[in-house]
Amino acid sequence: MGKFIGPGLRVEDLSSSTANPISPPAKVISTFFLPSSRWVEYGAWLKKLDSETLFDYFGLITQDAVIDVQIDKMIQAIEQHHVLIAVKNGQWVGTTHIATNFPDVEFGLIVIKENRQQGIASLMLDECLNFARNRRFKFLYMHCIQKNVAIQQLCNKYNLIPRNVMGDSEVKFKLDPPNFQSYLKELRFRQWRIFQPMLLNA
């Protein structure tokens, strides 16, 4: 069933083709949007992360109860949240939480320690930036930059200068409007998810 996600663009519900991660061959990284019916799995994945990674992500010492509260809030406002999963060898190796409040969007990105420096963060950020542009969001906010290497790299790529806010650092990034190339790029992402099982099983 199609649905509106953000102003100005009607997209198909991706859950039918991306509800389950596809097990790729070694060294192949794929992504999929996790359906809201499976967000509890995202919460369970967060709880298994080491304390340092969680601190870098949340900006504070995090207990399971904090994660449970976040998942509950997401479920209560489904249309304002999306979760992109990066998969390698059938295992989740990274996630990006997209939180929206038009015209603003915020990304929360994690790549597990043993899979960093492999281009996973760049892959997820590229897809999420395109996702946000195509839904006509105007400003991207990112926080906890001092500890988040992936976000630091994005800032460097776009020459963004973080500002200090109450001991934390954040950046506000003006998104380009969508164009033919950005819509085509999203179509390629979606076609890859549809045809990937056929290619892997050929």
Is residue 5 a part of any domain in this protein?
A: no
- 23: its two tokens: 């097990």
For 133-167, what is each residue's pLDDT tens digit? 999 999 998 775 666 666 677 677 766 666 665 55
Domain annotation covers residue 200: no
Position 152 in a domain: yes
3-state SS string for 64-129: HHHHHHHHHHHHHCHHHEEEEEEEECCEEEEEEEEEEECCEEEEEEEECHHHCCCCHHHHHHHHHH
List pLDDT tens digits, range 73-97: 999 999 999 999 999 989 999 999 9
Q: Is residue 120 part of a domain?
A: yes
CATH label of the domain that carries residue 68: 3.40.630.30
Is the pLDDT at 17 greater than 50? The verdict is: no
Please report the pLDDT score of residue 86 as a whole number.
96
Asked if the structure places residue 32 within a domain, the reply is: yes
Predicted pLDDT of residue 197: 52
Does 61 score more than 50 pLDDT? yes
Number of structural domains the chain divides into: 1
- Residue 66, classified by CB atoms within 10 Å of its CB into exposed (0-12), middle (13-18) or buried (19+), is middle
pTM for this model (two decimals): 0.79
Tell me the pLDDT of the chain averaged across its residues: 79
* Residue 171 located in a structural domain: yes
In a domain, 11, yes or no: no
What is the domain range of residue 40?
Answer: 19-191
Asked, for residue 36, whether it belongs to a domain, the answer is yes
Give the pLDDT confidence score for residue 122 in this predicted structure: 86
Q: Which residue has the higher pLDDT, 160 or 55?
A: 55
